[in-house]
Structure 1
Amino acid sequence: ALSEKLATIINDTSIKTVIVAAALAEPALQESQFSLNELIRQGERLAPLDAHQASRDDIAVLQYTGGTTGVAKAAMLSHGNILANAEQMNERFDNILTPGQETGICPLPLYHIYAFTVNMVSLFAMGQFNVLIPNPRDLDALVKQIEPFDINYFSGINTLFIGLCMHPRFKALNFSNLKMTVSGGAALTHAAADAWMNTTGCTITEGYGLSETSPVVTLNDFQNEEIGSIGRPLSNTTVEIWDENDEPVADGESGEIVVKGPQVMMGYWLRQEETDKCMKRGFFKTGDVGLKLPSGNYKIVDRLKDMIIVSGFNVYPNEVENILCLHPAICEAAVIGAKDEKTGERVCAYITLKEQVDEQQVSDYCRENLSAYKVPKSIIFMEQLPKSTVGKILRRELREQ
C-alpha cells in the first residue's frame, strides 16, 4: 500500500499527519496516520452538517490535468459542465446502444475525466452495466475479468488496444455482440484501429477532449468512422481553428483548436493568470494543433508544446509515431525533440518492439515514408515506454532523461 511506502520516507519530510483513505475496508495504520472514514464519523458526531443545495453553477470537481506536458492544474468543472457533457454524449450513444440493456468494460480509473464522465455519468445514466477493471496494466488479469461477460461496448486508449490485440486469451474471446469501442486520451493510430478490427470485428470510434472540457468535444460517427480524425463537434459545441494572432484560419489550414460550449470549465483553481491565458472571446484555447477536414470532421496534428522545429520546418511527433507504429516489428513509439547545434532540434524516437529489428532497418523504413527532416536522427529501443496511470505515453519523461 502507498501508506506503507510513505512510512519508509516520512521521517525525511516535514509531514506530521497523514490521512489514509481506503474504499473497501478500514486501512492498517502506521504511526501518525488516521483513517479518513473514522475522521468523518467523528466529525459527524461533533458537528453535524446541513446538506448543501447545489446548483448547476457550483463547482462539482477540481479535475487535475494530466501533466503530460507541464505542471498539472486543477480545472474547475461545475455540475452544469459535467451534466451538459453527459447529455451531449448520450445523444450520440442513443444511436447505437439500447438504454438499460448493454454491458461494457471500463479499464480506466474513474478519477480520470474520460471514464468519470463517459462511463460513470453518461453510460451509467443510460442504465448500462459498467465492468470496472482495477489494474488495466495487468493484461492477464484484465482478460480474466472480461471473460464472464458478453460485452457490448468497450472504453479504452491506443496503448491498451495494442496490448490486448497481442494477448492470445483476449483474441480467443467472443466479440459477436461488441457494437461500440470508444477511444480517447491519446491519438488513435491506424495500426491500433486495424488490429482491433481484425481481432474483434468492431471499429474504434475516436473522440477528443480535455480535462478542461469535461471532457468530450468531438466524436466520430459510430460505425462510420474516419480513422485519423477526431470526428465532429458534439451538440451546442463550437470548434474553430485559430492562428497565432487568435484569428480563424481557412478550412484545411492548421492552427490551434479552440472550443466554446456548455462543457468548458469555469477556469483553473487559484490560477487566474493561467485562466486568462487560455480563455479568449468565450473560447478555450486547447494548446492542440488541428485542422478541419473536407468531411467536416476535425483532425489533431499534435500538441503545440510537443512540436519539433528542424531547420525551420515543423515536425509533429504524432505523424512520425503513426508511421513508426505501422512497421510490423514496432509495438509502440514516442517521438520528442532534442537540441541540435546544426538544425536547432533533431527528431528522437523511442520504440518498443514486437519482433527483432535494428536501428538501420527502422531508419531506412522512415526514409521511405517520411520527408528527410522528419526522419529520426536517433532511435532508442526500450522494453517499455513511460506512461501515466491511465496508459498515456509521457513524452515529458523522455525529454527529462
Structure 2
Amino acid sequence: MFFVNDHYYTLEDLERQYTVFENTPHLRDCGNRRLAVCMPDVFQWLALCLFVRRNGGSIVPIHPSVPKEGAIRMASSAGSHILLYGNAHTPIELTEQKNAREGVLVQMSSGTTGAPKCIERSWDSIELELESYVSVLPADHQTISVVACPVTHSYGLICGVFACLRRGAEPVILTNMNPKYVLKKIKEHPKHILYGAPALLHTLTLLIRNGERFDCVMTSGTLMPSGWLESLKCISNRVLQQYGCSEAGCVAIHPNVSDSREMGYPLPHVKIEAGSKENPSEIIIRDTGKTIFTKDLGYMEDGVLSFLARMDDTINVAGLNVYPQEVEDVLMAEPRVAEAVVYKKIHPLSGERVCAQYVCTQPIEEQELREWCREYLAPYQIPMEFIQKEEIEKLPNGKISRKRLGEGVLA
C-alpha cells in the first residue's frame, strides 16, 4: 500500500483502520459533515482522508505543526463541524454548521501575497485531475513516488500520494526531512520520482556523493534559481516541473526542464491562456466550465506555458517591469551568494523600487554586489536596498512571501 518513513502499511492495515472509523460515533456519518484534521500520525491522517473521500464527506487538512488554538481558528474559518486535533478519537466540536451538500477537499491558499483563503475542490474534480495527471506523467507502476513534502497540501497529497496509488505504485512518504535520511530512502528505491520543494532539492544536490544520481525529480511551488536547476540536472536522469493553483490543482507538467520558468504542457482536462513572450499576460485556466484568473504573469510558446512572476510581485519601476527571478538569478550567480530573494518596497516619492535580501558564504561588500549587478542588469533592475541575512524568512510551506518582506517603505 504505502510506506511512512521506515514503516510499511498494507491494504489490510487500511481496512482495519476503516473498521475503527466506522465504529467511531463522530465519524460514522462523515458523509454529511466537514472534518478538519490536524494529526501527526501520517498513516491515520491518510486513512481518514481516504475514508472520508470514499464516503463522500468533506475534509480540511491542517499541518500538524499548527498549535491547537491556531488549528481551531483555521477549522472554524473553513466551516468545519468538528476538529480532530492530535488523534481521531477526541473531537473538538465547533459552531454548528449546515450539512455539507457535496464532498470536498478544502485547501488553504499559500498566503504568499496576502492572507490565506479556503479553496474547496470536489472529489470529482480531483478524480479528473488524477486521471489527466497520470496519463501524461512519465512514470509507470514500477516508479515509486518519494514524497518529501507535506501531505496536508495538494502537491504532496494529490500529486505525490494519490497519483502514485493510481499508477499502481506504492508511495514512500517522508516526515523525517533530515537530508541525509531523505538520501538514504531514495537510495533504497532506485526507480523513483522525488517530490520536494526547491530548497530541499538544492540541499540534496550539495550532499549527494560517490557518483550517485536521482532517477526523476519533480519540483513545484516556486521558481527554482537557475544555478540550482543546473546543479540538479547534473545529478538527475530527469528533472520535471509542474504548475497549478489551489483552485484547480496541477494543470501543467514539463517532462524535462531546461529553464526554470518553463512550467510545461497543459494537462488534457484544462485549457490555459497566457500572453506571448513579447507581451506576457495573466495566466487564465479554463477547467470544466470554470474560469480561474491566477494572478500569475506568463506566456505560451510552442505549446509550453512559462511563468514569469506573480502579478503582485512584479515590480514596476517608472513604467518598466522587473521580474524578481531575473534579478535573483544574477545575484546567485555571484559565487559568494548562496541564496537571494528580490521584492518591492514603496518609495514615498518615486514609487516601487527593487530590494533584495541575500545569504552569503563569504564576506561580500554591498558595493561589490552593485558592481556585479551592473555587469548583467539594466540600471532600473538593480536593487536600491541590499540586506544581508543569516537566513531568509520562509512560510511553513517553504515558500517566501515577497509581500511580507516588502512591507514598509524606503526612506
- Regarding TM over 0.5, the answer is yes
Query: 1:237-386 to 2 correspondence within 5 Å?
Result: 237-241=270-274, 252-262=278-288, 282-293=290-301, 295-386=302-393
Structure 2 SS opposite 1:38: coil
CA distance in 1, matches of 2:38, 2:131: 35
1:84 and 1:225, CA in 2 relative to 1: closer, same or farther beyond 3 A?
Answer: farther
Structure 1 SS opposite 2:171: strand
CA distance in 2, matches of 1:141, 1:329: 28
Match of 2:130 among 63, 86, 93: 86
**In the TM superposition, what is the alpha-carbon distance from 1:388 to its structure 2 partner?**
2.2
Structure with bigger strand share is 2
* Mapped contact 1:189–1:228 kept (Cα < 8 A): no
CA distance in 1, matches of 2:338, 2:384: 20
**In the TM superposition, what is the alpha-carbon distance from 1:127 to its structure 2 partner?**
2.0
What amino acid is the match of 1:233?
P
Indicate the residue corresponding to 1:69 in structure 2.
113
Q: Name stretches of at least 5 consecutive residues in structure 2 with no aligned partner.
A: 1-36, 45-67, 69-83, 94-98
What amino acid is the match of 1:254?
P
Q: Any idea what the Cα deviations from partners look like across 1:175-225, whole Å, max 9, x if unmatched?
A: 2xx432111111122212111122x23332122111111x211111x2475
Query: 1:46-57 to 2 correspondence within 5 Å?
Result: none
**In the TM superposition, what is the alpha-carbon distance from 1:296 to its structure 2 partner?**
2.1
* Mapped contact 2:336–2:361 kept (Cα < 8 A): yes
Indicate the residue corresponding to 1:105 in structure 2.
146
Indicate the residue corresponding to 1:158 in structure 2.
198
* Mapped contact 1:325–1:331 kept (Cα < 8 A): yes
The structure, 1 or 2, with the larger RCO (C-alpha pairs under 8 Å, 6+ apart) is: 1
Shifted more, 122-131 versus 63-72: the winner is 122-131
Q: Any idea what the Cα deviations from partners look like across 1:141-166, whole Å, max 9, x if unmatched?
A: 43344444434211122222222222
Structure 2 SS opposite 1:363: helix
Query: 1:213-232 to 2 correspondence within 5 Å?
Result: 213=248, 215-220=249-254, 222-223=255-256, 225=258, 227-232=260-265
What amino acid is the match of 1:38?
H
1:378 and 1:225, CA in 2 relative to 1: closer, same or farther beyond 3 A?
Answer: closer
**In the TM superposition, what is the alpha-carbon distance from 1:228 to its structure 2 partner?**
2.8
1:358 and 1:105, CA in 2 relative to 1: closer, same or farther beyond 3 A?
Answer: farther
CA distance in 2, matches of 1:299, 1:113: 21
Structure 1 SS opposite 2:237: coil
State the identity as a percent.
24
**In the TM superposition, what is the alpha-carbon distance from 1:25 to its structure 2 partner?**
11
CA distance in 2, matches of 1:162, 1:250: 31
Q: Any idea what the Cα deviations from partners look like across 1:65-94, whole Å, max 9, x if unmatched?
A: 01111011111100111111111110112x
Are 2:223 and 1:187 aligned?
yes
CA distance in 2, matches of 1:360, 1:344: 23
Shifted more, 154-163 versus 138-147: the winner is 138-147
CA distance in 2, matches of 1:154, 1:328: 28
Match of 2:269 among 226, 236, 242: 236
RMSD (Å), alpha carbons: 3.1
What amino acid is the match of 1:158?
P
**In the TM superposition, what is the alpha-carbon distance from 1:339 to its structure 2 partner?**
1.8
Q: Any idea what the Cα deviations from partners look like across 1:260-313, whole Å, max 9, x if unmatched?
A: 124xxxxxxxxxxxxxxxxxx8421001011122x2212111111112122222
CA distance in 1, matches of 2:85, 2:321: 52
1:22 and 1:185, CA in 2 relative to 1: closer, same or farther beyond 3 A?
Answer: closer
1:34 and 1:298, CA in 2 relative to 1: closer, same or farther beyond 3 A?
Answer: closer
What amino acid is the match of 2:106?
L
CA distance in 2, matches of 1:252, 1:313: 14
**In the TM superposition, what is the alpha-carbon distance from 1:373 to its structure 2 partner?**
0.2
